[in-house]
Amino acid sequence: MDDDILSIEETFGDLKDPRSRTPAHDLTEMLMVALCAILSGADSWMGIELWGQAKLEWLRRHIPLQQGIPSHDIFRAGFRCAQSEAVRNMLHPLDEPPVPGAGRAGGSD
């Protein structure tokens, strides 16, 4: 049964930060915020940002987030650069174009 449990570390352990300059926001921290937000119902980059801002105090009990929560543009750009299949699979629904009137939480990107 334990073999069926998905490990975050195993799934995203090969994730390398492809950004060329030293980024203000750590990619691993961004991943954790995005994963928690998506599991909590966020379905847009803006939704991830808003969820992170609302849960910043709780998140800082688990990860440093010294620069605070990245903007939705930083989340989008950071993960579009990531070349991990696991990240692409997790974020696939966020890359689909919004459907007008679909009531996406968090508004538009």
pLDDT by residue (tens digit) across 40-74?
999 999 999 999 999 999 999 999 999 999 999 98
Structure tokens at 96: 């689909």
Grade residue 106 by pLDDT with cuts at 50, 70 and 90.
very low
At residue 41, φ and ψ (nearest 5 deg) are 110, -5
Q: What is the mean pLDDT of residues 85-89?
A: 64
| Identity of the amino acid at 74 | I
| pLDDT at 80 exceeding the cut of 70 | yes
Grade residue 11 by pLDDT with cuts at 50, 70 and 90.
low
Instruction: Please tell me the distance from the alpha carbon of residue 81 to that of residue 61, in angstroms, as a whole number.
Output: 28
